């Protein structure tokens, strides 16, 4: 006779709770911002290290070619191109971090990823994707974890697995998801690396010689005309009289 009372399911309450939590002010926003700033510092350190490795690879390849050791130069060339690609990845991550920091306020108040600005979502997707491919930048892992906690699993999975509709840019995908097989490295590519190294060495040597020459000329003029300043001063004095 009496209508049966239906008890609300726990799942309904949990869904409402999640929505309320995500729509409220993000208490870990400052922590996320701090990790992004630390990541920028870390990129600078790793970039310097990688640039040193690139210079060393150029030098090694040039020396190996001089000794006609082409087969030994081949793996060095592969490493050179991988290091160059990693430097490009650092540039991309740095750009994405800067993009987020310049418009950080949506992170604080908006927990629904679909309501975030498009450029913010693209930057987030790029960082999540990079976190799954760049192991040496530890801060990326912390940032990804915070994004996962704030915006949920689906956006994270879409970005990492490059599912249809993902917002990861084609530039960073090409940099991080492409590997150059050693057999694709041609002799011309290796010779070009060597030539670039030799050109840089020649330019540096010429600049150093110019600086040394200018310094020697200045020092020599002091000995050739030790009283030049005094005589010029006396000439001015006599003219004034």
DSSP 120-163: HHHHHHHHHHHHTT-SS-HHHHHHHHHHHHHH-HHHHHHHHTT-
Lookup: tokens for 122: 């693209």
pLDDT for 130 equals: 98
Domain with 108 in it:
29-180
Cα separation of 232 and 179, whole Å? 69
Its pTM stands at 0.73
Q: Is residue 188 part of a domain?
A: no
In a domain, residue 16? The reply is no
Cβ atoms of 47 and 137 within 8 Å: the answer is: no
Whether residue 93 lies inside any domain: the answer is yes
Supply the pLDDT for residue 10.
41
| 197 located within any domain | no
Q: How many CB atoms lie within 10 A of CB 168?
A: 22
* Structural domain includes residue 105: yes
Residue 145 lies in a domain: yes
| Residue 240 belongs to some domain of the structure | no
User: Residue 175: its pLDDT value, please?
Assistant: 94
Q: What is the CATH number of the domain that holds 79?
A: 1.20.1260.60
What's the number of domains the chain is made of?
Answer: 1
pLDDT tens for 156-204 read 999 999 999 999 999 999 999 877 777 788 888 898 988 887 777 655 5
User: What whole-number distance in Å separates Cα of residue 92 and Cα of residue 169?
Assistant: 10
* 241 residues of the chain, pLDDT tens digit each: 444 455 544 444 444 444 444 456 788 999 999 999 999 999 999 999 999 999 999 999 999 999 999 999 999 999 999 999 999 999 999 999 999 999 999 888 888 999 999 999 999 999 999 999 999 999 999 999 999 999 999 999 999 999 999 999 999 999 998 777 777 888 888 989 888 877 776 555 444 444 444 544 454 454 444 554 554 555 544 444 4
The pLDDT assigned to 224 comes to 45
Say which residue the tokens 């060339």 belong to: 77
Per-residue model confidence (pLDDT) at position 194: 84
The backbone region for 103, taken as left when phi is positive above 0, alpha when psi lies in -120 to 50, beta otherwise, is beta
Contact in structure between 46 and 136 (CB atoms under 8 Å): yes
User: Tokens 């994707």 sit at which residue?
Assistant: 129
**Residue 193: inside a domain, yes or no?**
no
| CA-to-CA dists, residue 196 to 49, 81, 86, angstroms | 20, 14, 19
């Amino acid at each position: 006779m009496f209508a049966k009372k239906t008890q609300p399911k726990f799942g309904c309450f949990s869904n409402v709770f999640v929505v309320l939590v995500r729509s409220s002010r993000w208490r870990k926003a400052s922590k996320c911002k701090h990790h992004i700033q630390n990541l920028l510092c870390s990129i600078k350190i790793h970039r310097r290290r990688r640039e040193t490795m690139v210079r060393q690879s150029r030098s090694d390849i040039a020396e190996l070619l001089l000794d006609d050791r082409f087969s030994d130069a081949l793996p060095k060339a592969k490493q050179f191109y991988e290091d160059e690609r990693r430097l490009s990845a650092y540039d991309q991550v740095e750009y994405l971090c800067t993009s987020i920091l310049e418009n950080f306020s949506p992170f604080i108040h908006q927990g629904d990823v679909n309501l975030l600005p498009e450029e913010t979502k693209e930057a987030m997707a790029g960082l999540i994707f990079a976190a799954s491919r760049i192991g040496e930048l530890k801060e990326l892992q912390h940032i990804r974890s915070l994004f996962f906690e704030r915006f949920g699993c689906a956006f994270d999975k879409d970005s990492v697995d490059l599912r249809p509709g993902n917002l990861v840019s084609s530039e960073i995908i090409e940099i991080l998801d492409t590997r150059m097989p050693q057999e694709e490295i041609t002799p011309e590519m290796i010779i070009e690396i060597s030539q670039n190294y030799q050109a840089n060495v020649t330019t540096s040597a010429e600049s150093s010689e110019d600086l040394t020459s200018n310094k020697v000329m200045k020092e020599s003029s002091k000995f050739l005309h030790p009283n030049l300043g005094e005589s010029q001063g006396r000439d001015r004095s006599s003219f004034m009289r």
